[in-house]
Structure 1
């Protein structure tokens, strides 16, 4: 995956950085841990400015997070609850899970948005409960922007600092991102199988 990402970034520069970070937030398996260290490496080679790379990456990432927040807010809690009652079993989500999510978000809301923007695999997902909880859009934008700029600047600075050795950073960070996503999938699969066993037992 990293090869074609690098090709796009080489061709489009800061526009490519912003575009890939936007896509990363819409389609999480594309890792920012590849995009932003490359941008930092390009800064070290004199191909990009540091502030331009961070700004482009932050704007792209922010727009992706905002899109998910607006979708979740538009979809709404009531529609989600009705959908979960009919189809939630295959996503292993129940109405009680929604209630627990709301209680958790009511307690941690803005801190969750800020911190999760800097955690691989969770940067995109945190926008969804924020939207369902009708978190004030101004507050969401502020905490999302702060977390996003911190994360993109950190990755770009590390890529810049490591220069020609930046791939030593990309590989372990990419594995962290992959491990988080794989762990989430494994947890869903476990819950899916468990729910299927319970449904079959109830029918028999």
Structure 2
């Protein structure tokens, strides 16, 4: 990708996003895949910039649309598998010991969470790829629960391909206005984070009230 072209459409790109841009400039689709793998491990790296920008690069002819989707999906799978292995290596026993030390939390809470994941883990891994932060974190409980690795990879690849394709194709069609996608995602993320914050606040309120009763 031509650095001058990027600068002319997005002069404010810097930091982690700028690093991702440089990877795509140098390595094309492979660079986009590396950036997305890193985004799974370090969520502050913004996929809402990387993916539509990869679509813009495809529109310019710096890579094909197929390459952009394939490499970013591969990067999503690699990053997710690394976090899955973190869950495997950390192990359930350590998690239970940690839960017993946390205030307002108990091993019973963890057991309920495990039961929920046993029942809904497939949907959580598949659709969690489309939710900010969750798309990274959901790999850890999958590893803790030893979800069959082939199933985990298949679900991750499918969910990531759908999410990545949506943003890449949007960037492809928007061309020089690819940053519009970031505005859409900012509103989406605000709704998600607000819902999570409310859910946590309600849980804490109920737990504190139960403890003081």
TM category, shorter:
0.7 to 0.9
Between the aligned partners of 2:23 and 2:205, the Cα distance in structure 1 is 44
TM-score (norm. length: structure 1): 0.82
Bigger mean CA offset, 37-46 vs 163-172: 163-172
1:3 to 4, 13, 25: 13
Residues 39, 155 of structure 1: CA spacing in aligned structure 2 closer, same or farther, 3 A cutoff?
same
Once the two structures are superposed, the pairs formed by residues 134-173 of structure 1 within 5 Å of their partners are 134-173=146-185
- The partner residue of 2:72 within 57, 66, 78 is 57
Alignment CA distance shift 1:191-1:9 (3 Å): same
Distance 1:60 1:80 in 2: 28
> Hey, what's the Cα distance between the residues in 2 that align with 1:163 and 1:26?
28
1:94/1:175 Cα in 2 relative to 1: closer, same or farther (>3 Å)?
Answer: farther
- Higher RCO structure (Cα 8 Å, ≥6 apart): 1
- Number of paired residues? 197
Preserved contact between residue 21 and residue 50 of structure 2 (Cα < 8 Å): no
Any conservation in 1 of the 2:73–2:161 contact (CA below 8 Å)?
A: yes
Aligned to 1:44: 59
Partner deviation per Cα, 1:56-95 (whole Å, 9 max, x = no partner) = 2112211111111111111111111012212x22xx5431
Q: Distance in 2 between matches of 1:68 and 1:182?
A: 25
Cα deviation for residue 194 of structure 1 reads: 8.4
Pick closer, same or farther for the CA change 1:9–1:85 going to 2, 3 Å: closer
TM-score, reference length from structure 2? 0.79
Q: CA deviation at 1:104?
A: 0.8
**Alignment check: 8 A CA contact 1:31 1:177 kept:** no
Structure 2 unaligned runs (5+)? 1-11
Query: Residue in 1 aligned with 2:97?
Result: 82
Q: Which runs of 5+ in 1 are unaligned?
A: none
Q: Look up the match of 1:99.
A: 111
- Between the aligned partners of 2:51 and 2:126, the Cα distance in structure 1 is 19
Aligned CA-pair RMSD: 2.6
Shift of 1:146: 0.9
Shift of 1:179: 5.0
Separation in structure 1 between the aligned mates of residue 39 and residue 197 of structure 2, nearest angstrom: 18
Question: 1:176 aligns to what?
Answer: 188
